[in-house]
Amino acid sequence: MTATAPWTSAKPTALLVLADGTVIEGKGIGATGKVQAEVVFNTALTGYQEIMTDPSYLGQIVTFTFPHIGNIGANDEDIEDLTPAARHGAVGVIFKADITDPSSYRAAKDLDTWLKARGIIGMCGIDTRALTAWIRENGAPNAVIAHDPNGVFDIEALKAEAKAWSGLEGLDLAKVASSGQTSRWSEKPWVWNEGYDELADADTTHHVVALDYGVKRNILRLFTGLGCKVTVMPATTSAEDVLAQKPDGIFLSNGPGDPAATGEYAVPVIQELIKSDIPLFGICLGHQMLGLALGATTEKMHQGHHGANHPVKDHTTGKVEIVSMNHGFAVDSKSLPEGVEETHISLFDGTNCGLRLTGKPVFSVQHHPEASPGPQDSHYLFRRFINLVREKKGEPVLAER
């Protein structure tokens, strides 16, 4: 990988310094400063604002393989983290081209201004194809991204910081990304030219408790879109407190970090919730921790899956879906115990993307069926979950699609 940038400037104003000592020069954008993180690449063509505010990216620098970023600007509607004041999401971003001027009627501000306000450090003007190829060959590296408008850097110190960072393995970030208190979510899915409506209490049909390990807003919206009252509870909530809410269904959310680390306190809770026989559904980190609770193991992936164009096969229907992905850990398929069925697999590499517990209303998926950003092929999974709730209550089920 080349260590120089394809753009011309008297002095670089941003550096990406990898743990192996590689220094990549670029043009600084967004916030100034420096941060240690893991570098990954995302292959999505759209939805950059949703990607950068996805709490599952906490502790990571996102390299966008699509070269032109910023054309729709930024707004207050396409944010995915539940507590935006805390700015949970990607800590750094890397683009090939300069930020494009916004040309969307929905734009409230340009992307560079938004990055500064969010505290996201960025750089552009580098060969993102070369960086992506390096990650594919060598794995997602630990690094430091630094931005100084004056181009003043202590390169040796940055190399030492990149090399010294311990990385995401063993790191519990769910406590950081989680909301700190129990709250009610009532916002419904977005409607073109109308924005978001609120679900009235009188219109609710079932009660879902969402354990928040770094939940995305659109997941909660799809529950309210199906008429569910949604109660969001912190990552460290006890099983007793969850059950005290008298939920009809329990949801385990997505989130950042190592599932084994978060699982030290979350897995015993999940095991107790499984015993309750209340329908349970997990996504991403929630899927991984459900796997741990059922006796499987998780593993750090070489480069992870990040994009909105990943093919996944649902063994329960035989259909292939194009889905959003964002994960650097996975459930080891070979470790699934008897009584736990693999329901989905990635058609890129065969890794596990879904499971269900035989004889129990319990299932989960690795990908992001809420499609924010990304295709809506997997929206049916929310109806599948609500149907488990309806079956439990003796109610007629909905068509999945």
Return the HEC string of 57-71: HCCEEEEECCCCCCC
Active site residue 124: no
Whether residues 286 and 375 fall in one domain:
yes
Has residue 401 got a pLDDT over 80? no
Give the pLDDT confidence of 344-374 residue by residue, as tens digits: 999 999 999 999 999 999 999 999 999 998 8
- pLDDT at residue 180, rounded to an integer: 87
Give the pLDDT confidence of 64-90 residue by residue, as tens digits: 999 999 999 999 999 999 986 678 999
Whether residues 343 and 220 fall in one domain:
yes
> Which position has the higher pLDDT, 5 or 35?
35
Active site residue 370: yes
Q: Is residue 1 part of a domain?
A: no
pTM of the shown model: 0.96
- From 164, 188, 215, give the residue that closes a domain: 164
Give the C-alpha separation, 129 to 108, whole Å: 30
Whether residues 203 and 130 fall in one domain:
no
Backbone angles phi, psi at 83, to 5 degrees: -120, 75
SS3 at position 171: coil
Whether residues 82 and 186 fall in one domain:
no
Has residue 302 got a pLDDT over 70? yes
- Residue 292 CB neighbours (<10 A): 22
The amino acid that residue 256 corresponds to is P
Give the pLDDT confidence of 375-394 residue by residue, as tens digits: 999 999 999 999 999 999 99
Count: domains in the chain: 2
Give the pLDDT confidence of 227-271 residue by residue, as tens digits: 999 999 999 999 999 999 999 999 999 999 999 999 999 999 999
Q: Is residue 2 part of a domain?
A: no
- From 103, 134, 164, give the residue that closes a domain: 164
Which residue out of 284, 305, 344, 367 is catalytically annotated?
Answer: 284
- pLDDT band for position 1 (50/70/90)? low
CATH of the domain at 350: 3.40.50.880
Are the beta carbons of 324 and 374 closer than 8 angstroms?
yes
Q: What whole-number percentage of the chain has pLDDT above 70? A: 97
Whether residues 181 and 236 fall in one domain:
yes
Q: Is residue 401 part of a domain?
A: no
Q: Which of 218, 266, 226 is nearest to 249 (CA)?
A: 226
What is the longest distance spanned by two Cα atoms in the chain?
Answer: 71
- Give residue for tokens 């670089």: 12
Q: Give the structural domain span for 85.
A: 14-164
Has residue 2 got a pLDDT over 50? no
Q: Is residue 273 part of a domain?
A: yes
- pLDDT at residue 4, rounded to an integer: 47
Q: Is residue 321 part of a domain?
A: yes
Whether residues 221 and 81 fall in one domain:
no
- Give residue for tokens 């109660």: 231
- pLDDT at residue 85, rounded to an integer: 63
Whether residues 194 and 147 fall in one domain:
no
Has residue 8 got a pLDDT over 80? no
Q: Which of 165, 116, 133 is nearest to 65 (CA)?
A: 133
If you average pLDDT over every residue of the chain, what do you get?
A: 95
Which residue out of 80, 161, 321, 370 is catalytically annotated?
Answer: 370
- pLDDT at residue 400, rounded to an integer: 82
- pLDDT at residue 5, rounded to an integer: 46
- From 139, 164, 189, give the residue that closes a domain: 164
Mean of pLDDT values over 192-197: 90
- pLDDT at residue 9, rounded to an integer: 53
Task: Kindly write down the DSSP assignment for every residue of 311-365, as one continuous string.
Answer: EEEETTTTEEEEEEEEEEEEE-GGGPPTTEEEEEEETTT--EEEEEETTSSEEEE
Mean of pLDDT values over 173-186: 95
Q: Is residue 348 part of a domain?
A: yes
- pLDDT at residue 170, rounded to an integer: 97
Whether residues 159 and 289 fall in one domain:
no
Whether residues 20 and 153 fall in one domain:
yes
Whether residues 19 and 124 fall in one domain:
yes
- pLDDT band for position 6 (50/70/90)? very low
Whether residues 150 and 206 fall in one domain:
no
Whether residues 132 and 223 fall in one domain:
no
Which residue out of 306, 327, 368, 379 is catalytically annotated?
Answer: 368
Q: Is residue 212 part of a domain?
A: yes
Residue 246, classified by CB atoms within 10 Å of its CB into exposed (0-12), middle (13-18) or buried (19+), is: exposed
Has residue 10 got a pLDDT over 80? no
Q: Is the dihedral of CA 252, 255, 257, 262 positive or negative?
A: negative
CATH of the domain at 103: 3.50.30.20
Q: Is residue 345 part of a domain?
A: yes
SS3 at position 24: strand
Mean of pLDDT values over 336-346: 98
